């Protein structure tokens, strides 16, 4: 298992290197750099002045040199003061050094956010914390409910309970977040007035009033998908020979389900649950913007809309890392749940 984890970590590092290289290239295309220069100067600045700004701030250096500087493998160069021609800070609000220095991702420096006028770390990590809190409550609601629905439906295949729960699961899965979010807002915020249609105040303090709608919107979509996978796995397990043998030995139906069927039935849903983490990162983009919850998704949209290059790179790095680490945890957890995988 240890050698497997080490090999996967090496593969993850190589994958992150390749993906960040592609993202770095796309974000630093010339149109994006020109938009950044316009946003940091004046709207009526001439093309020559925009080009001078990009040159003075290091955006016209060799592509691989800039990528190495962002990683921290090469020393980051200071900007050039156009008035004096001397080295100067690239962005004063980040306290950039005025001399060449190794300062990149490997050193914990993710760059400067030109939109929020602060370091990327100062904006990105609090946003991740806010989204992590949202994801925790979504999973706390979604996982138990979906597993319960799937187990109840799969225990008695073809029954009225199975059909009812299956229809409800399919309906929830077929409803995207931007539809269920609008429906919930209209019903619970506009008509009934029970909940707040904006979660902006949740950053100062979570309450049932301001945090329920985004949690409901995200949980309702994932619940149906996990429930369907749990039901299919439960149906397959309940037809196995060892389940029939346990029933013939006189064990009660509940004992058979809890002691023999449940663990094997949870193998497939466990993988699906771990894959919900990357989905939640994409799902929160819609939900956080809809409810004005200032988390990772809201920050990503703001960075993309304002050509905040360093912040976009930081968001992409975090996204890739979360996808890869959840896949690793999923594979390791699958091996512990299924002894046959561990033996092989």
Indicate the pLDDT class of residue 339, thresholds 50, 70 and 90: low
- Nearest C-alpha neighbor of 223 from the set 161, 289, 154, 177: 177
- Nearest C-alpha neighbor of 230 from the set 276, 167, 273: 273
- Nearest C-alpha neighbor of 225 from the set 182, 152, 153, 276: 276
Read off the pLDDT of residues 267-293 as tens digits, 9 standing for 90 and up: 777 777 777 777 777 667 888 888 888
pLDDT at 135 over 80: yes
Query: 254 with 278: CB under 8 angstroms?
Result: no
Mean pLDDT of the chain: 81
Q: Which residue bears the tokens 């319960």?
A: 148
Indicate the pLDDT class of residue 343, thresholds 50, 70 and 90: very low
Distance CA 23, CA 89 (A): 26
What value does the CA radius of gyration of the chain take, rounded to a whole number of Å? 25
pTM of structure: 0.79
Position with higher pLDDT, 226 vs 253: 226
Indicate the pLDDT class of residue 54, thresholds 50, 70 and 90: confident
The token pair at 67 is: 């990528």
The whole-number average pLDDT for the span 34-54 is 80
Position with higher pLDDT, 152 vs 202: 152
Specify whether the backbone of 54 is left (phi greater than 0), alpha (psi in -120 to 50) or beta: alpha
The token pair at 251 is: 């064990």
Report the alpha-carbon angle 118-121-126, nearest 5: 100
Query: 280 with 138: CB under 8 angstroms?
Result: yes
Position with higher pLDDT, 325 vs 337: 325
Distance CA 65, CA 70 (A): 9
Query: 290 with 196: CB under 8 angstroms?
Result: no
Neighbours of 216 (CB within 10 A): 18
Helix or strand or coil: residue 112? strand
Q: Which residues contact 233 (CB under 8 A, 6 or more apart)?
A: 150, 154, 264, 265, 266, 267, 268, 269
pLDDT at 126 over 50: yes
At residue 204, the pLDDT reads 66
At residue 283, the pLDDT reads 66
Indicate the pLDDT class of residue 6, thresholds 50, 70 and 90: confident
- Nearest C-alpha neighbor of 328 from the set 4, 21, 3, 14: 4
The token pair at 200 is: 């902006």
Indicate the pLDDT class of residue 43, thresholds 50, 70 and 90: low
At residue 342, the pLDDT reads 53
Distance CA 188, CA 196 (A): 8
DSSP string, 167-220: HHHHHHHTS-HHHHHHHHIIIIIIIS--S-S--GGGGT---HHHHHHHHHHHHH
Of the chain, the percentage scoring pLDDT greater than 90 comes to 2
Q: Which residue bears the tokens 């995988």?
A: 341
Find the range with the poorest average confidence among 198-202, 239-243, 336-340.
Answer: 336-340
């Amino acid at each position: 298992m240890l050698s497997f984890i080490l090999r996967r970590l090496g593969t993850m590092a190589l994958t992150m290197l390749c993906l960040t290289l592609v993202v770095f290239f796309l974000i630093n295309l010339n149109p994006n750099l020109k938009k950044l220069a316009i946003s940091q100067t004046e709207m009526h600045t001439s093309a020559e002045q925009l080009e001078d700004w990009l040159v003075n701030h290091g955006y016209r250096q060799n592509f691989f040199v800039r990528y190495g500087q962002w990683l921290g493998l090469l020393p980051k160069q200071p900007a050039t003061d156009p008035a004096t021609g001397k080295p100067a800070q690239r962005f004063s609000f980040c306290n950039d050094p005025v001399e060449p220095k190794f300062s990149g991702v490997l050193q914990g420096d993710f760059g400067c956010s030109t939109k929020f006028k602060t370091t990327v770390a100062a904006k990105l990590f609090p946003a991740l914390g806010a989204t992590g809190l949202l994801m925790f409550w979504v999973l706390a609601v979604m996982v138990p409910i979906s597993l319960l629905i799937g187990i109840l439906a799969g225990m008695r295949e073809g029954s009225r309970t199975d059909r009812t729960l299956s229809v409800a699961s399919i309906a929830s899965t077929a409803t995207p977040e931007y539809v269920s979010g609008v429906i919930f807002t209209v019903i619970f915020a506009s008509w009934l007035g029970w909940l707040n249609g904006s979660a902006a105040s949740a950053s100062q303090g979570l309450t049932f009033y301001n945090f329920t709608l985004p949690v409901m919107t995200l949980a309702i979509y994932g619940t149906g998908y996990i429930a369907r996978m749990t039901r299919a796995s439960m149906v397959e397990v309940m037809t196995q020979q060892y389940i029939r043998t346990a029933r013939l030995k006189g064990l009660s139906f509940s004992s058979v389900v809890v002691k023999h069927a449940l663990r094997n039935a949870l193998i497939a849903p466990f993988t699906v649950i771990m894959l919900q983490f990357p989905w939640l990162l994409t799902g929160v983009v819609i939900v956080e913007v809809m409810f004005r919850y200032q988390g990772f998704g809201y920050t990503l949209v703001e960075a993309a809309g304002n050509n905040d290059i360093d912040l976009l790179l930081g968001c992409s790095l975090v996204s890739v890392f979360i996808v890869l680490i959840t896949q690793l945890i999923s594979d390791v957890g699958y091996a512990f749940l299924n002894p046959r995988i561990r033996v092989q």
